[in-house]
Amino acid sequence: MLLRVAAKNLLYRRLTTALMVVAIAAGVSLLFAIERVRSGARESFASTVAGIDLIVGARGSPINLLLYSVFHLGDAVNHISAATWQELRQHSAVKAAIPLAMGDSWRGHRVIGTTADYFTHYRYGDQRQLVFSAGRAFTGLFDVVVGHAVAQRLSQGLGERLVLAHGVSEVSFNVSHDDMPFTVVGILARTHTPTDRSLFVSLPAITALHRDADARTAPLELPTLTAVLLKLQEKFTVLALQREINTHRPEALTAIMPSVSLRQLWQTLGVAERVFLLLSFLVFGISLLGMTVALLIGLDARRQEMAVLRAIGASPRFIFAVLIVEALLISLAGIVAGVALSYMGLYAFEPLLATKLGLTTGMFTPAATDVWFLLAIIGCALLAGCVPAWLAYRGSLADGLTVRMG
C-alpha cells in the first residue's frame, strides 16, 4: 500500500515529479561523470607505466618528463644524445634501456623512434607485455609498427604505405616527405594506453625522416632522443642509479621513478580534482534541495489527503513513510537517469578525452567504489526526504482528521 500510495502520488503530480527527477539526474550525472573521469584518469595513468624502473630525460621538471615520455602530453624542451643512451645501455645495473625519439607524426598520431626492445620490455596494466595482433616488429629502415587505434585509421592494414610528417599536428604541411613512404609491418593489440595511439619506427628511420633527399645515401647516425626508459637488473639499485644519473657529468640529466612522479602529479592535480568534485557535489546538493523544496511546497496542498489517509486507518508513521518513499523513488529514478546520462556523455566525449587527456580505460567499467558512491547518493536523498516527511508527520499529528488553515 505504501509503495502504491507513493507511486500514485508521483504519477498524479507527473510534471513536478519529472522536473525533480531531471534536476537530480543532472546533479548525479555530473557527479558521476567527474568521478568516472577522475578514477579513469588515475587508472589509465597508473596502468601506462608498469615495467619501467626509471625514466631518463634532459634536465627539467620530473612531472614534465613523465608527461611527455609516457603519456605523450606536451613536448620535450631539451633532448639527450644517443651517446648517453649507449652509455646507459652498457651500465651494469641496467637490464634494458629503451630509447624514445619523438617529434614526428602521422595524422596527429605520434611517431616514436625506438628499438625492438620496446616491444619486449615495455609493460602496462598489471605487468602485461605488448602483443602483436598482426605482423611483427620493425626490421627495415622504412618499417613501421602501429598501435591499435592507429590501425583503425588505416585503410588496408598490414602492408599499407604511410607518409610520415615532421612535427606534431593533425594536418601535414608540405614538409612531409612524399617520396619516403613507410610500410606497416606490425599492428599491436589494444592496451588502453597511449601506445594504442602511436606509431613505432627504428631510430635510423627518424634520422632519415629529417634528412634532405640528397644526403640520404650517407650512413645514418642516430637521432637525438627525447627520453630513455630503463629497466634494471635489480630493483633495489634504483635509488643509487637515480642519484648517479642525476649527477651525470657530460650531459645534465633527470631520472625519475614513474610511480613517485605519478604520485607527485596526483598531488598537484589533487586541488583541481577536489574543486571539481566539490562543485559537482554542490550541484547535486542543490538538486536535492530542489526536491526537498518541491515536496515541502506540495505538503500544504496535501494536508487534506493526509487527513483522509488517517481516517481510513493510516498511522502518522505511514504518512512519514509515504514521503520518504516518494523522495526515494524520485532520487532512484534520478540516479538511474543520471548514470545513464553520464555514460552517454562519457561515450560521446570519449574521443576528446582520449586525445586531450590520454584517458582510454576505466571510465566505462564500473568500479566497486561506485556502489558506495551510489549508496552515499541514496543516503543523501533519504536525508533530504526526511525533512518533508518529518513535517508531514508532525502535520498529520496536529491536524488529525481536521485540516485547518495556516
Partner 1 sequence: MAAVLSLQDVRFAWSAHAPPLLHVKAFSVARGERVFLHGASGSGKTTLLNLSSGVLLPQQGRLQLLGHELTTMPSAARDRLRGAEVGYIFQMFNLLPAFNALENVCAPCRFSAAKRQRVAAQGLSVEDAARHLLLALQLDPQQLATQRVSRLSVGQQQRVAAARALLGAPPLIIADEPTSALDHDVREQFLDLLFAQCQKFNIALLLVSHARELGRRFDRSLAWRDLNRAGDT
User: Considering the rule CB under 8 A, would residue 394 count as an interface residue with partner 1?
Assistant: no
Minimum distance, C-beta of residue 339 to partner 1, in the bound complex (Å): 28
d(CA 227, CA 169): 20
Task: Please count the CA atoms within 13 angstroms of the CA of 327 that sit on its side-chain side.
Answer: 32
Among 76, 230, 256, 309, binds partner 1 (CB under 8 A): 309
**Judged by CB under 8 A, which stretch of 160-168, 194-202, 226-234, 394-402 contacts partner 1?**
394-402
- DSSP label at residue 129: E
Strand blocks (E) in 141-251: 143-146, 161-162, 165-166, 182-188, 198-202, 227-232
Indicate the residue type of 156: Q
Nearer to partner 1, 298 or 345 (CB): 298
d(CA 102, CA 210): 12
| 11 to 40: interface string for partner 1, x by CB under 8 A | xxx---------------------------
β-pair partners for 143: 183
d(CA 239, CA 256): 10
Please give the grid coordinates belonging to residue 304.
Answer: 487534506
Among 15, 171, 312, 368, binds partner 1 (CB under 8 A): 312
User: Considering the rule CB under 8 A, would residue 322 count as an interface residue with partner 1?
Assistant: no
Please give the grid coordinates belonging to residue 325.
Answer: 518513499
User: Considering the rule CB under 8 A, would residue 401 count as an interface residue with partner 1?
Assistant: yes
The answer to whether the Cα torsion of 318, 323, 324, 330 is positive or negative is positive
Residues 6+ apart with CB under 8 A from 195: 122, 124, 130, 147, 188
Nearer to partner 1, 14 or 249 (CB): 14
Nearer to partner 1, 364 or 390 (CB): 390
Q: What is the CA radius of gyration of the chain?
A: 30
Minimum distance, C-beta of residue 290 to partner 1, in the bound complex (Å): 22
Nearer to partner 1, 11 or 272 (CB): 11
User: Considering the rule CB under 8 A, would residue 324 count as an interface residue with partner 1?
Assistant: no
Among 5, 52, 102, 145, binds partner 1 (CB under 8 A): 5
Among 153, 161, 216, 317, binds partner 1 (CB under 8 A): 317
Minimum distance, C-beta of residue 405 to partner 1, in the bound complex (Å): 14
User: Considering the rule CB under 8 A, would residue 311 count as an interface residue with partner 1?
Assistant: yes
The answer to whether the Cα torsion of 311, 314, 319, 324 is positive or negative is negative
User: Considering the rule CB under 8 A, would residue 325 count as an interface residue with partner 1?
Assistant: no
Binding site for partner 1 (CB under 8 A): 1, 4-5, 8-9, 11-13, 304-305, 307-317, 400-402
